[in-house]
Amino acid sequence: MGWKEKDGLRYVVFENLEQSQKVNHCFTSRLGGVSQGVYSGLNLSFTRGEDRALVEKNYHILCDALGFQYDSFVLSHQTHTTNIRVVTEKDRGMGLSKASEIKDTDALITNVKGIQLTVFGADCVPVFLLDTQKDAIGMVHAGWRGTANGIVKKTVEKMQEVYGTEPKDILAGIGPSIGQCCFQVDDPVVSLFQGNLDFAHEVIQNDPAEAGKYKIDLWKTNQKLLMQAGVPYENIEISKICTMCHTDLFYSHRVMGDARGNMAGIMVLK
């Protein structure tokens, strides 16, 4: 994982994906852009209440800096599901240059070159997936619900079904999101993790600062889910950057509530 900066934008990339030379990708920070007020910076979400024209301008800034194509993004309306969309050529532009969004979908996969799969986050975990042999990609929005319900594992399985992906050929990146240092939860969330995940005891710890509260490691949870799906440990890169700890660089739902922008994780096959 490394930081890059270009034309006033700062963004995160993964070394394993960079070295593959098969994709262009990034996870944006909030730095740069023309958003104002509570959205200040590079807000890339149309669902936060900001003037659409300003968000569109941010996309143009991003395209100019990083070489993305404005008419080739695919955005979905994320609702913490485990729904996965197989993106084809007819979806190109969905949510940006085409007005309609893909509804109730938290993971996107494609094997079409030039389509920029995009997921949003402001504490939720963005996961990047690249099948280096079949030339297919996946982008996953894994909030705590999606994580507990195994969305990353289900996305790998969907890539196996649709593209014939071998999990051993996948390179994965787990992007900036809320760390265990800050992700405090109570019993109902813990119960969901314990009920769904056989390794829950490895990713949950008691919060020493407050009785009856717990801290969950979403990064390790998604890493272990990827490994259960057959992705090798050494193929998984974790940014280890907590969005809640760094609100100078990122929007954070836990800190800012609903009055904020969103970062974006973007990946496209070359």
Query: For 137-146, how does the pLDDT look when each residue is reduced to its tens digit (9 = 90+)?
Result: 999 999 999 9
Residue 110 lies in a domain: yes
Write down the pTM of the prediction: 0.97
Residue 142 lies in a domain: yes
Calculate Rg over the CA atoms of the chain. Answer: 17
Residue 200 lies in a domain: no
Residue 209 lies in a domain: no
Residue 70 lies in a domain: yes
Query: Above 90 in pLDDT, residue 242?
Result: yes
The average pLDDT across 245-260 equals 96
Residue 226 lies in a domain: no
Range of the domain at 96: 2-177+236-269
Residue 224 lies in a domain: no
Helix (H) or strand (E) holding 183: none
Structure tokens at 82: 């485990």
Q: Hey, which residues does 172 pair with through a beta bridge? A: 129, 236
Band the pLDDT of 1: cuts 50, 70, 90.
confident
* CATH code of 32's domain: 3.60.140.10
Residue 186 lies in a domain: no
User: 270, 23 in Cβ contact below 8 A?
Assistant: yes
Smallest Cα–Cα separation from 47: which of 266, 253, 221? Answer: 253
What is the domain count for the chain?
1
